[in-house]
Structure 1
Amino acid sequence: MFIATKNPSSTQTSRESDWEVGVRRTTQEGRLLALGPAPVATGSRAADINAWVRRKTEGWLDLQNGNLLFGAEFSLMFLSLSLLTVMAAVVFTLEVGINLGRWDWGLPLFVLVGNLLISLPWGLYMHFLGNKAVKETPPVRLNRQRREVAMPRWTEGKDFKLPLWNDTVAGFTYIGVLFTIGWALTPFMNEYSSTEYRNSLVLEGLVLLGIELLVIGTYLFIALRLKKKHDPKLVYEIYPWDKLVAYIETKQNIGPSLMATHTVLTLAIPKPDDPESALAAASINVGHETSGLAQWECIRRFMEEGPEACPDPKEDETLAHYKAKCRQARKDLSLLPWLGKKVGDWFFQRYLAHIITERRIKTLALKSLPKELDTWSAPLPKEQWAKPSEELQILNLQLTRAYERGLRFTGMGPVSQWQAQYDEKKQQKRGRGRYQARVDF
């Protein structure tokens, strides 16, 4: 679904008269520094502090946060743990066989089956949880040719609970399936007088397991399809770039024995009927107000000056960057540190993790986006590009010159007051110049 948000009316604008660039507000949780609407220059260096820039083209920029690489490494760690435990069981069996002359492969088989039933499901669960997180955090897209912002939000879904299903039932179901699998495999670990009797036990266990999986699979398939119809739907709100609300908020969270300070940069579209509330918003932790200004300047310069003025997306999560990093490490490190690094790379399966992360960034994250977003993002002929207002261009030029003379955005105050003082000083200079000219005449 694709929704274009109408511009706020004049009455709503008057209610926002105390909110403008440079304004500082004190809230119950901390303080705010307004950066928009009216995306004026801040004089800060453009920098992508926390890798918020995910994709960049000539026409649009995607902002999407989240440490996707860490999530992939964490899920693949279960694979390494499974391999290590199976290898340990094999080594133990070989040692016992060499010392006692008796070979019993029951332990490695038991460990292998245990990993397939426990470690593998948990690893897959973490993997699909990471995929779900990518789908549920769609990017914010800024289109510099249209001078518009596409902000994602989720519609309110209807409450829907799976019938006869909760965490307790899920736990008992999982244990029941494990018990049935154990029943089917137990005959292989015991000696029976008749092979036919053993095979009959195995067959009974497999039939029971098949019935359980069929019933559970059918139930979950139907139930999840019903749940999906009631889930929130992703929609994109289209809003003018020049009216986008942006601010840096510094919060102080006070606990029993600790006080922590968090600083976030927020982009928001205000509700048409309530400008103090956000219809859609996106935030990123920037750590400090100076870093927030650098992150905002990165976004602003892309929209105002072009893609060459904005840093490129970081390649830390790409496979090519990982390979280059490994080659450089081989040159820089001695043998033992390099071997230690390779052990760590293997344990977290970093090669495979980079492949999964790159797929999530290039394919999975874009797959769930509405098709209308692609149409909106299509390049326009240059004569159809939206242009900034003349007032904004003049203001940015004045601010840029003032920054060169030592003005700091953080100490500027409301931009309207600064501009009024600037115009007043300019008129005074003109007046003194005319008076001096008359005296000389």
Structure 2
Amino acid sequence: MFDRQGIALMATAHLVVLPALAIGYVLFYRWMRRLAGWRKETVFVPWEDVVAVAARNMAVTIGGPAGLGWELHILPPDPERPGYSLAGSGVSAGMTGLQMAMMQWELIRRYMEEGPEAAPERADDYSVAWYKEEMARQRKRHEREGKPFWRYRIKCWMELAYFASWYTEYRVKHVLPKASPKGWVQEWSQPLPESQWARPSAELTELTRQVEAAYARGETFLDLGPVEKRFGQPSAGEAPKAAYPSVPFAAHSG
């Protein structure tokens, strides 16, 4: 049992000391980046060079393993160092499993290689509107199965499901647009001159054709297995090449 002094000390640590340490670390990290001369840049990577990796991570605490999770990493390799990713770049997203990571990557691949018509319309998942629609669906399901809906509703309240949906929508509308310098998205979205377009290799074009033919036969991407092993030719390895072109991150450094 904690006495009052112990409770006050614990509350102070969680409400004052730990946040101060976190904020101090972020400020120190940014200061070190500026001191080292790091700057943000937009790097233009040919689509054919992009690599996707699904990794399984384990969260470990003092009490032991806390859980397992999957992450999808989309990385541009370092053109000057084959086998390494470009330092400080790439995108990572948490996934519920390996199949979900594969599905996410396949949607991205088809969008990039076949165009927007190959990917389904964006789903409005986990917004407040989605939460209300989900509650309505669950109410009907519980009534149809003769189960009390209030138990499910209390479970969602205890899990802060409504707050999670509201906060997700708030971040998308108000937080994420401020994460980049003003006007950078518009600047980044400007099309490159045709002279700078990267052309797909004959090998990638043939692999895409084989995958499209497999889909036409009724196969799914989970049925395909390793595509390069099934349809492609063995590679002799990759040699170092010139660095990717880059431009300043909207003249923003930090």
The TM-score with structure 1 as length reference comes to 0.35
**Secondary structure of residue in 1 paired with 2:74:** strand
Q: Give the greater-gyration-radius structure (CA).
A: 1
Which amino acid in the other structure matches residue 242 of structure 1?
A: E
Name 2:187's counterpart in structure 1: 375
Name 2:173's counterpart in structure 1: 362
In the TM superposition, what is the alpha-carbon distance from 1:322 to its structure 2 partner?
0.8
Which amino acid in the other structure matches residue 141 of structure 2?
A: D
1:225/1:291 CA distance change after superposition, 3 Å: closer
**Secondary structure of residue in 1 paired with 2:84:** strand
Name 1:269's counterpart in structure 2: 76
Deviations 1:162-204 (A, max 9, x none): xxxxx9xx38xx9xxxxxxxxxxxxxxxxxxxxxxxxxxxxxx
Question: Structure 2: how far apart are the matches of 1:347 and 1:283?
Answer: 29
1:238/1:405 CA distance change after superposition, 3 Å: same
**Secondary structure of residue in 2 paired with 1:271:** coil
Name 2:229's counterpart in structure 1: 413
Task: Select the residue among 34, 49, 56 that pairs with 1:243.
Answer: 49
In the TM superposition, what is the alpha-carbon distance from 1:364 to its structure 2 partner?
0.8
Which amino acid in the other structure matches residue 413 of structure 1?
A: K
Name 1:309's counterpart in structure 2: 118
What are the residue-to-residue correspondences of 1:37-436 with 2, within 5 Å?
A: 170=17, 227=28, 229-230=30-31, 232=33, 235-248=41-54, 265-279=72-86, 280-284=89-93, 285=95, 287-288=97-98, 291-334=100-143, 337-371=148-182, 372-378=184-190, 380=191, 386=197, 388-389=199-200, 391=202, 392-401=204-213, 404=217, 408-410=224-226, 413=229, 416-417=232-233
Instruction: In structure 1, list runs of 5 or more residues that go unmatched.
Output: 1-113, 126-166, 175-215, 253-257, 420-441
In the TM superposition, what is the alpha-carbon distance from 1:325 to its structure 2 partner?
1.5
Which amino acid in the other structure matches residue 287 of structure 1?
A: G
Aligned-residue Cα RMSD (Å) equals: 5.0
In the TM superposition, what is the alpha-carbon distance from 1:311 to its structure 2 partner?
3.4
Question: Structure 1: how far apart are the matches of 2:92 and 2:164?
Answer: 26
Question: Structure 1: how far apart are the matches of 2:97 and 2:159?
Answer: 28
In the TM superposition, what is the alpha-carbon distance from 1:353 to its structure 2 partner?
3.5
In the TM superposition, what is the alpha-carbon distance from 1:395 to its structure 2 partner?
4.5
Name 2:4's counterpart in structure 1: none
Question: Structure 2: how far apart are the matches of 1:265 and 1:274?
Answer: 22
Instruction: In structure 2, list runs of 5 or more residues that go unmatched.
Output: 1-6, 34-38, 59-64, 236-254
Query: How many equivalent pairs are there?
Result: 203
1:249/1:415 CA distance change after superposition, 3 Å: farther
1:265–1:286 Cα contact (<8 Å) kept:
no
Which amino acid in the other structure matches residue 316 of structure 1?
A: D
In the TM superposition, what is the alpha-carbon distance from 1:367 to its structure 2 partner?
1.1
Richer in helix (by share)? 1
Which amino acid in the other structure matches residue 355 of structure 1?
A: W
1:246–1:268 Cα contact (<8 Å) kept:
yes
Deviations 1:364-422 (A, max 9, x none): 123112342331125x59x8995754734455224533674989442752755279xxx
Identity level (%): 26
1:319–1:358 Cα contact (<8 Å) kept:
yes
**Secondary structure of residue in 2 paired with 1:304:** helix
Which amino acid in the other structure matches residue 329 of structure 1?
A: Q
In the TM superposition, what is the alpha-carbon distance from 1:278 to its structure 2 partner?
1.3
1:330–1:338 Cα contact (<8 Å) kept:
yes
Deviations 1:205-234 (A, max 9, x none): xxxxxxxxxxx9xxxx9x799647516576
